Structure 1
Amino acid sequence: MIQVQDVRVDSSSRRVWRGADEIVLSRKEFELLHILIRHAGEIVSRNDLMREVWGATFWTSSKTIDVHLGWLRRKLGDDSRHPRLITTVRGEGLRFETAVPADLTGSA
């Protein structure tokens, strides 16, 4: 079991919870979340995500990741305009935050 912030992932049963609520994810959504949460606090490149989640050794379209990320954020209740769980690091990739980003906590 992996837990970061209030998200728990059980890789053996492929189940996910946010707080006390179980979140039902598609296979690709689960794989995307699992990779990001396993590397919480680290930036995971889009190339790595395409290779690990979709098995692609070639670049297809960033829309594939964006669409699945949108669905995943929505299911987790993570505001895409001000994400607290999965943030986009422009030009580098995605990161599952180990804590709410400082600029979103209201502190300066």
Structure 2
Amino acid sequence: MYEVQGVRVDPVARRVWRAGEELVLSRKEFDLLHALIARAGDVVSRETLMHEVWQTTFWTSSKTIDVHLGWLRRKLGDDGRRPRLITTLRGRGLRFETTPPE
């Protein structure tokens, strides 16, 4: 079980809660969230995410991660313009923040 910033993920049951409310995520949204929250505080490269979430070493689409990330942020209630949960580090990857950014 992972719990960071009010987001709780049960990887065995594949269930997610935000502030005590259960969320319904697609398979890929869950896999993306799990890949990030399991490494909370660390930058996860897009290459790693493509390999772990989409089981591929090539880019099926340059927007695949961005589209799923947008859906995931919306369901988590994270503002895509000023994200507090999942931040993008240009040229490096994504990070699930352990505390809200300043």
Does residue 66 of structure 2 align to residue 66 of structure 1?
yes
- Give distance in 1, aligned partners of 2:101 and 2:22: 24
Unaligned runs of 5+ in 2: none
Q: Larger Rg: 1 or 2?
A: 1
- Give distance in 2, aligned partners of 1:49 and 1:95: 11
Letter of the 1:20 counterpart: G
Provide the alpha-carbon RMSD of the alignment: 0.6
Letter of the 1:40 counterpart: A
Moved over 4 A (4+): none
Per the TM alignment, residue 60 of structure 1 is displaced from its structure 2 partner at its CA by 2.6
Q: What residue is the counterpart of 1:106 in the other structure?
A: none
TM-score, scaled to structure 1 = 0.92
Unaligned runs of 5+ in 1: 103-108
TM-score, scaled to structure 2 = 0.97
Q: Percent identity?
A: 73
* Per-residue Cα deviation, 1:80-108 (whole angstroms, up to 9, x for no partner): 00000000000000000000002xxxxxx
